[in-house]
Amino acid sequence: MLDTDLNNAIARKGELETEKFHAIFGAGNLTAARAALDDCTAEIALIEKTSADAPARRGDAPLDDPPAEAVAATPAPGDEVRTKAEALGERWRTVHWLIEQLRQELFAADALSRAVTAANGLSDGAAGVRVNLTTIRRIAMAGPRAVAPSRLSRPAIQADRLLLSFLSPGGVLDRRPAIGAPVDGIKSKFIPAGERG
């Protein structure tokens, strides 16, 4: 019964995480989604603790035959597999949604990058300012990264490396790292008189 409750809670957590992602992008109440997800996470922790303490309680229990009602309530292995399969399907739907969101963001970033590149080519006027696209991207992608679980399948490891290549210098978006790029992403075309060689 604890396993069934845990599987149901995990499946519900996947649904709540999906709702939270939607809420982040404006399709729902983010505060309510976070609260529901926190409650579900606490419920999972309680079930896992109860399950971990079960062997000790079982050792203290009398060795009587279980009642027929308890036997009838025990979930069949097929039910557990179906529950996990449903949770897996929900996870993959979330992955699909996030990938589509990522593609839209990449399309928008590429359009802005091309516009800034064109502006750089026309920046010979009085302003004399050029924008370093590589530095802007590196600063924006320099945030914290999640630690991968210790046990991952080979396809998951390959997918994780591919995703990290979007963030890493020299990755798919940054094949030739710029040397000496300014830290603020902006550099002037003009050299002060005292520094001219």
Q: Let me know if residue 128 belongs to a domain.
A: yes
Q: Let me know if residue 163 belongs to a domain.
A: yes
Asked whether residue 136 falls in the same domain as residue 87, the answer is no
The answer, yes or no, to whether residue 117 has pLDDT greater than 60, is yes
Asked whether residue 74 falls in the same domain as residue 128, the answer is no
What gap in Å lies between CA 10 and CA 20, rounded to an integer? 15
Q: Which residues, 6+ apart, have CB-to-CB distance to 135 below 8 Å?
A: 178, 181, 182, 183, 184, 185
Name the residue with higher pLDDT: 164 or 8.
Answer: 164
Asked whether residue 53 falls in the same domain as residue 98, the answer is yes
Structural domain for 134, as ranges: 123-143+155-189
Asked whether residue 42 falls in the same domain as residue 98, the answer is yes
Are residues 170 and 177 in contact, defined by beta-carbon separation less than 8 angstroms?
A: yes
When divided into structural domains, the chain yields a total of 2
Q: Let me know if residue 73 belongs to a domain.
A: yes
Q: Let me know if residue 114 belongs to a domain.
A: no
The answer, yes or no, to whether residue 197 has pLDDT greater than 70, is no
Q: What is the mean pLDDT of residues 84-94?
A: 88
Mean pLDDT of the chain: 76
Q: Let me know if residue 116 belongs to a domain.
A: no
Q: Let me know if residue 113 belongs to a domain.
A: no
Cα-Cα-Cα-Cα dihedral of 189, 168, 88, 99, to 10°? 20
Q: What is the mean pLDDT of residues 61-77?
A: 58
**CB atoms inside a 10 Å sphere around CB 160:** 14
What gap in Å lies between CA 81 and CA 79, rounded to an integer? 5
Name the residue with higher pLDDT: 91 or 28.
Answer: 91
Asked whether residue 7 falls in the same domain as residue 95, the answer is yes
What band does 195 get if pLDDT is binned at 50, 70 and 90?
A: very low
Closest CA to 177 of 166, 186, 168: 168
What band does 107 get if pLDDT is binned at 50, 70 and 90?
A: very high
Residue 66: phi and psi, rounded to 5, are -65, 145
What gap in Å lies between CA 157 and CA 149, rounded to an integer? 10
Asked whether residue 80 falls in the same domain as residue 9, the answer is yes
Asked whether residue 127 falls in the same domain as residue 98, the answer is no
What band does 110 get if pLDDT is binned at 50, 70 and 90?
A: very high
